[in-house]
Structure 1
Amino acid sequence: MSGETDLRKLLNGMSPELRPGRYVFTVVEGDVPPGLTPVVTVAEQEGLTLVLRREDADAAGLPYDYVAAWITLRVHSALDAVGLTAAVAQELAAAGLSCNVVAGFHHDHLFIPYERGAEAVTLLTDLAQRSV
């Protein structure tokens, strides 16, 4: 099941969805601590990065600095598609929004400052409408 590669179709069909909750990035040594269910893990030399709900990080006593909103782009983008991340990042950067992007097999996921989540969805929806 291959995803979409046409940039115009990707942008027009991205349907950004703001997921409920607050998410944080933290790092642990070794494996995911028992009882935690991260939404993203990234293995780096410095440790295992976890993206998880803020309340789960708090309950586990894990440190974090950045609290994010999680936006899923509902279009099925191909892993070799060109330009979607750049177009989204450019749109958000023009509004002064940072964006941490994670690509899953089916969708791209954006982690942006929590307090600006709704604004980011509006900006991305406008970008989609302009990409017809």
Structure 2
Amino acid sequence: MAGEKDLRKLLAGMSPQLNTGEYVFTVASDGRVPAGARPVVTVAEEEGLTLVLSKEDADRAGLAYEYVAGWITLRVHSALDAVGLTAAVAEALAGAGLSCNVVAGYHHDHLFVPHADAARALAALERLGD
């Protein structure tokens, strides 16, 4: 099924969902995911393999991190070439004074926001969808 491209429909159907837990960004400099770790995102960079994974997994593997995030999934199936969704989300969160790291999956967009402010970010996104 093709993803949605119409910005109005995307915003109305976002249905942001806060996933349980705390998530961190870290780097596996050897390019390998540590045994037992289950990253939700990986990005290959020249400096190493970026992992986004639960804080629990990072702690267990002894991985260093600086940023603890809440993970919000936009449940709408957005097309990868849709225009404006990321900008609208970023503007709403910036207007609330919140940082956001966006990762696009094939079916959904995923937002990593400061964990302490995740509920506030969710509320801002729900207002945006109204």
Q: TM-score, normalised by structure 1?
A: 0.96
1:81-96, aligned counterparts within 5 Å? Answer: 81-96=82-97
Alignment of 1:72-111 (within 5 A): 72-111=73-112
1:40 Cα shift? 0.3
Alignment of 1:21-100 (within 5 A): 21-28=21-28, 29-100=30-101
Per-residue CA deviations over 1:58-81 (Å, capped at 9, x if unaligned) read: 011000000000000000000000
CA distance in 2, matches of 1:60, 1:35: 8
Aligned residues: 129
Unaligned runs of 5+ in 2: none
Identity of aligned residues (%): 71
Q: Write out the 4+ residue segments of structure 1 that deviate beyond 3 Å after TM superposition.
A: none
Equivalence for 2:122: 121
Q: Secondary structure at the match of 1:112?
A: strand
TM-superposed deviation, 1:35: 1.2
1:49-99 Cα shifts (integer Å, max 9, x gaps) = 000000110011000000000000000000000000000000000111000
Query: How far apart, CA to CA, are the structure 2 residues paired with 1:124 and 1:35?
Result: 33
Return the alpha-carbon distance in structure 1 between the equivalents of residues 62 and 35 of structure 2: 13
Q: CA deviation at 1:125?
A: 0.4
Partner of 1:112: 113
- Rounded to whole Å, the distance in 2 between the matches of 1:90 and 1:27 is 28
Q: What SS does structure 2 have at the residue aligned with 1:55? A: helix
* Alpha-carbon offset, residue 46 of structure 1: 0.5
Q: TM-score, normalised by structure 2?
A: 0.98
Compute the displacement of 1:33 (Å).
1.4
- Name 1:6's counterpart in structure 2: 6
Q: Helix, strand or coil: the match of 1:21? A: coil
Structure 1 stretch displaced more, 23-32 or 62-71: 23-32
